[in-house]
Every structure is written in structure tokens, then in C-alpha cells.
Amino acid sequence: MNDRDVTYVGGAWVPLTSDARMEVVNPATEEIIGRVPEAQAADVDLAVAAARSAADAWAATDIPTRQGYLHKLRDNLVARTDELAALITTEMGAPARIAGGIQVNLPVQVVDSYLELLSTPPEPERLGTSLVVREPVGVVGAITPWNYPLQQAIIKIVPALAAGCTVVHKPSELTPLTSYLLAEIIDAAGLPAGVYNLVPGTGPVAGEALVAHPDVDMVSFTGSTRAGRRVGAVAAETVKRVALELGGKSANILLPDADHAVAVKVGVANCFLNAGQTCTSLSRMLVHTSRYDEAVERATDYAANYRLGDPTDPQTRLGPLVSAAQRARVHDLVRQAVAEGARLTTGGPDVDGLPARGYYLAPTVLADVDPDSVAAQEEFFGPVLSIIRYDDEDHAVAIANNSRYGLAGGVWSADIDRATAVAMRMRIGQVDINGAAFNPLAPFGGYKQSGHGRELGPYGLAEFQEIKSVQLP
């Protein structure tokens, strides 16, 4: 049992003001694997006070000093890679092959990217008679989700620290143990007291208290669009800066000249990554009518043979969903999609042979999906692929943009220029051409109800900085 009785505030492990506890459940076994304190508003007050008291001194540190601390943080992450990966697998069900790769190694790459950026800090800008400088925004409330519990924490905490901000971190109540291990790693890096603080708790209590707090200068939130609306509304009361990375229903356009054998396989794998619990999941596959039946057959065969099971098995590709509530939600959405006319070609909520325990859902493919239906409009956040037919490029782009979301997408074509031209017409924050690799230096964020603000690279650093103009005589 991985029980915790304290939290990390002001550079020390301290008890909380309440005896309330939250249970952490292994989604593959449904067993309780730990309990952590449940922070109340008074605990948030203490954490924010610690961050505020450390803010001026941390903002005044020079770049080499911040780099030194981040180097230690990075080395500590690497030293505990196996421990982090195993914990993430246990806590949220990510298969070991994903936990050891994307879930842990990618955050290390992100830290490396900020160490590189700090090596060549930009000079103050001169505009006419003015000097334009960037300064730390101050105290940052970082609220992170459960699907990538380490990665999402790192892409907020590290650039905030690099910019000279102090942080109060509220992780998801479903995956707090990973954040405790991260707090140990940060503590071992020796950061000054109060620069990083941890408040485990629920969104309605600890999250709202953090967002509403008058001494928090900025909130960086990743989660659902519904929760993001609430964060924006509460933050507006104190007119603080807000960065929101929210939901998505990303379109993957396969142009007729694409290599469908590769495009369909990679598209299905992207959709099912992390059991479909990825905000950038390419969950809508758009296929030209001339190759539609071929694509449906390929996707169905590939999904039906996807390796599902125990996430600790290195051969497993698809683990459980994070909770019983999440599985029930996806079940309901799939049933609604079929009722609206989608054709279930494999998977679904009524498949036999799944593990007796654990929140598993078979890899699912829905064909003949109407672009206006629930299967095309709602973010399922599960291993469910919707395949949609289109007539020409204009039709494909119209379908892709027919969404309240605008986070990510993909385009496949034998002609890179043609694919790029289509990508430029998509109202989304990032587009992959022919399955191009993720770039941790490129800005990450969305249009429309996928949020605002950008994470990663220089744009992610700028989110945590204020801009000041100094008028010179």
C-alpha cells in the first residue's frame, strides 16, 4: 500500500489541516493501492503563502542558477525512470511499453528542451525609444490531469520555474502518487523552500480554491472543456492569467494518394494510444469514398488484433481505462453512436473475453459515421475510432473543421505539398503530416474550445512571463 500522510509545502513534508483521505485505485485490478491526503481550502492557502513568500527571491535568481536546479531535477528524473514508469502503469493503467517511453522519457526530453532554451536567453528588445523586457508572471497554479500525470506536470512546472515563477501544483485525484514521486524528485534537486508546492485534492475543493486565490497570478490548467469553462469563470473574478489545454476530436485526413496500408495502421495506433485517453487522439479518420471500404476493412482487422490485457506485460498495447466511471461513459457514447446510425465493425461495450477485473474496453471501430453525430462530435476519451467518408478535399476540410474543438489533426498524402496545403486549411493548433514525429520544441495548444495559450518550447516559456515596456529618454 502506497499511503501518504503529508504533502510538500514550503520545502518540507507537512501534515494537512484535515484528516480527509482519497483512495487511489489500480484500474487493471480494481484494488486500492494507496491513500493520500485530501487538501482543503486552508491547505491551499498555506501552499500559496509559501509560493508567494518565495516568489521575489526566485524571480531574482539568474539564469545559470535556475539551469543548475533544472539539471538536478532532470538527473533525478532519469535516475528514477523505472520507478516512475512502474507507478504510472499501476496508477492509471498505461501499458509498460508506453509508460517507459512516452510517459517518462518524453518529460525528460521536455526538461532538456528548456535547459537548451535557457542556454541562449533572448536579449531585451528595443522598439524605438522603448526597452521591452520579460519578467516572471509570479505565483502559478498548475492543475494537471490523470492521463499523462508526469508529462503534463513537467510541461507546466519546468517552464514556470525556468521563467522565474513559483508553483502550487494540484494533480488529478486519480493519479496523485506520481505527483508525490515528482515532489520527491524536486525536493532532492534542492530548490529553495516554497518554489514548488504540492496540494493533492479534488477539483471542486482544492482546484477551485487555487484558481480563486487572489495571490495566484496565473493558472495553467489541462483537462476537459467542461472543467476548463469553470476554471475560466472562477479565474475571471480576480482577472488572473489563464492558460487552458482542453479537449479534442481530432481529424485524420487520408487523401486518395496516401499509402493506406501505412496510414490506416498508424492512424489506428494513434487513436488507441494510452487506451484512447489522449487529448490529441486522431479519433476521426476521414477517407475518400474511392478508398473508404478498403480503409474500414484495414482498420477493423488491425483493431481486432490489437493486444489488450495486463498493462505490466511488455507485449500489451491496450490497457484499461482509468476508472469505472470513464468506462461507463465510453460505453454509453458507443451505444448512442450505434443508435444514431454508426456501424460497429469491431469491439464495443458487449464484447466477451475481456479480463474479469479491470476497466477494460475492447478496441472499437465505428464506420459510416455521420459528421454531425455523437461519434464525430464528442470526445470519447477511449479506444474508439470513427471513420467518415468524404467526396473531395473541400469536403474533407469542411468535415475536419466541423467541430467545436481545434486541438490536433493529421494529413496523409504521397505529395507533401498537397498534404501541407490541406493542413493549412484546418482550424487546429497542430497537424502531423504522414505521421511525423512529435516535436517538444514546437508550440502545443488548440483553437476554439480546445483552449488557449501554448505549451512547450519558447512559446510555452512565454506563457509564464509578463511583458514590460521601459520608455527611455
Chain centroid offset of residue 106 CA: 12
Q: What angle do CA 60, 62, 63 make, to 5 degrees?
A: 130
In degrees and rounded to multiples of 5, residue 465 shows phi and psi of: -125, 140
Angle between helices 416-424 and 393-401 (to 10 degrees): 40
Cβ 206 vs Cβ 40: under 8 Å: yes
What cell numbers appear for 381 in the block? 476519451
Which amino acid belongs to residue 253?
I
In degrees and rounded to multiples of 5, residue 252 shows phi and psi of: -120, 105
- DSSP states of 349-384 as a string? TT-SS--SSS---EEEEEES--TTSHHHHS---SSE
Q: How far apart are CA 189 and CA 193, in angstroms?
A: 11
Among residues 398, 392, 391, which one has the least CA distance to residue 376?
398
Residue 245 known to be catalytic:
yes
- Report CA torsion sign: 439, 443, 444, 449: negative
Q: From the candidates 91, 173, 245, 379, give the one annotated as an active-site residue.
A: 245
Cβ 218 vs Cβ 56: under 8 Å: no
Cβ 407 vs Cβ 250: under 8 Å: yes
What cell numbers appear for 322 in the block? 482509468
What cell numbers appear for 464 in the block? 509564464
Cβ 103 vs Cβ 148: under 8 Å: yes
Among residues 90, 102, 116, 99, which one has the least CA distance to residue 34?
90
Among residues 276, 377, 284, which one has the least CA distance to residue 321?
276
Residue 279 known to be catalytic:
yes
Instruction: Work out whether strand 447-448 and strand 31-37 pair parallel, antiparallel, or are unpaired.
Output: unpaired
Q: From the candidates 38, 91, 271, 279, give the one annotated as an active-site residue.
A: 279
- DSSP states of 33-93 as a string? EEEEE---HHHHHHHHHHHHHHHHHHHTS-HHHHHHHHHHHHHHHHHTHHHHHHHHHHHH-
Catalytic residues: 245, 279
